[in-house]
Amino acid sequence: MQSPLDDVGQMKTVLETALLTSQDPLPVGELCRLFDGEISADTVGRLLDDLRADWEGKGVELVSVSSGYRFQTRAEFQKYLNRLNPQKPPKYSRAVLETLAIIAYRQPVTRGDVENIRGVSVSTGILKALEARGWVDVVGHRDVPGKPALYSTTRTFLDDLGLRSLEELPPLDDLGTLVEGGTEQSAGEDDIPDTSASHDEKNHEIEMPHSVSAASSVPD
C-alpha cells in the first residue's frame, strides 16, 4: 500500500483537510505534525504554495496570517454569503479606532499614553472591550509609580486584518479602511461599547468576511 508521504497529491489533500476543518490558523510547525515530522517545514511550505495555486479562481483562498495558514472567503464573494446570514455589522466609534490605532503604532503603551496622544480621556470600557475582542492585551507594566499596564496588539488582531506581522500595517491614515475590510469572521458579533465618545463622533460600520471554518463569538 502506498504511503501518503509518497504521493504529493495525497499530502496536499491532508493539509487541505486539516486547514478546512480547523477553527484557527495553523502554523507550519503544527502542519508538520500531520506527517509525524517525516517531512520538513520547507516541504510543507512548498506544498502550501501548490495548494494556494490549486485554489486560484475559486470562492475561497488559502492565505498566510500571523498565526499560520487558513482558508477564507475571497472579499468579492462576501456579499453573497451575507445574504444567507444578514446581520448588522459591528460598530466601532472614532474613539475606539483611534485608541486601537495608537496601541498598534506606538505599542507598548499605557492608558495614559493613549490619553496624552488623543487629548481626551479613554474609558476603561474601550480597553476592556478591545481585550475581550482579542485585539489588545496587557503585556507588562511600566516601572513608574502606580505600575500602569502596558498594552500591545495581539496575533488575533493581525489575523483578523489578514496580516502576517506588524511590519505589514498600512500608513496610519489607512488603518480604519483596513479594519473595515478585515478578513476574519466578525459579522454579527457584539458592538464594542464606547462610553467616552462624544455625540459628534460618528460610528463606523465595519463588516469582516468569513473564514471557511467556524469561529467562536466575541464575549460580551
- pTM for the model: 0.65
> Which residue's entry shows cell 509525524?
36
Give the domains, in start order, of the chain with CATH numbers.
4-74 (1.10.10.10), 91-205 (1.10.10.10)
Asked whether 218 and 77 are in contact (CB, 8 A), the reply is no
Cell numbers found for residue 14:
491532508
Confidence of residue 160 (pLDDT cuts 50, 70, 90): confident
Give, rounded to a whole angstrom, the gap between the first and last alpha carbons of the chain: 52
What is the rounded CA–CA span in Å between residue 21 and residue 27?
A: 14
Q: Return the SS3 of 192.
A: coil
- Rounded to whole angstroms, the Cα distance separating 154 from 120 reads 25
pLDDT at 192: 52
What's the confidence (pLDDT) of residue 200? 39
pLDDT tens digits, one per residue of 105-157: 999 999 999 999 988 989 888 999 899 889 999 999 999 999 999 999 999 99
